[in-house]
């Protein structure tokens, strides 16, 4: 499947997360993104070096600035289970503006056409690193990295596009 591109409608799918009451929830992507401007960004894996030290912290640090430019929600998706995503979110001092969403079986990642085979590294199917700016389910910016690169999908890259 071709990777999602500018102008495409964001596919719907189910992701998982823990709510404020610490209850495991299933949520549709469309329920999170319909009728508003959101950032959907993906990383190859929780607790991995670039994801944990650069990519996610950038969106956490720039969240207020992104919101001041009309972004309603910042959605992080990774091919990890919801328990790992919950633990990962707690490893950062401040995550109130970033929702950590689990795509444990890579089902949604496949719908986006953004799967990355890291079997040779013992990680199985993961997600390419990416950042999408989506306005009412239409992709306005699609910054998709090659492999595990981190050159075009940062919070600063999305800020430049706003």
pLDDT recorded at residue 120? 81
Query: Is 58 annotated in the active site?
Result: no
pLDDT in tens, 30-78: 999 999 999 999 999 999 889 899 999 999 999 999 999 999 999 999 9
pLDDT at 149: 87
| 124 pLDDT higher than 80 | no
pLDDT, position 122: 72
- Quick check: 56 and 12 in contact, CB under 8 A? no
* Predicted TM-score (pTM) above 0.75: yes
Q: Looking at residue 101, what is its pLDDT?
A: 98
111 has a pLDDT exceeding 90: yes
Among the listed residues 29, 38, 51, 77, the single catalytic one is 51
Q: Per-residue confidence at 117, pLDDT binned at 50, 70, 90?
A: confident
CATH ID of 24-148, from 3.40.30.10, 3.40.50.1820, 1.10.10.410, 3.60.15.10: 3.40.30.10
Q: Is the pLDDT of residue 116 over 90?
A: no
């Amino acid at each position: 499947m071709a990777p999602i591109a500018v102008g495409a409608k964001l596919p719907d799918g189910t992701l998982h997360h823990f709510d404020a009451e610490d209850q495991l929830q299933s949520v549709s992507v469309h329920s999170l993104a319909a009728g508003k401007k959101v950032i959907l960004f993906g990383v190859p894996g929780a607790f991995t070096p670039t994801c944990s030290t650069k990519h996610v912290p950038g969106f956490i640090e720039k969240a207020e600035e992104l919101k001041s430019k009309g972004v309603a929600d910042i959605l992080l998706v990774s091919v990890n289970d919801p328990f790992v995503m919950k633990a990962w979110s707690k490893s950062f001092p401040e995550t109130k503006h970033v929702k950590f969403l689990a795509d444990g079986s890579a089902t949604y990642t496949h719908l986006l056409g953004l799967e990355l085979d890291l079997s040779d590294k013992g990680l199985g199917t993961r997600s390419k690193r990416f950042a999408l700016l989506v306005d009412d389910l239409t992709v306005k910016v699609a910054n998709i990295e090659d492999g595990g690169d981190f050159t075009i999908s940062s919070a600063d890259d999305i800020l430049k596009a706003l």
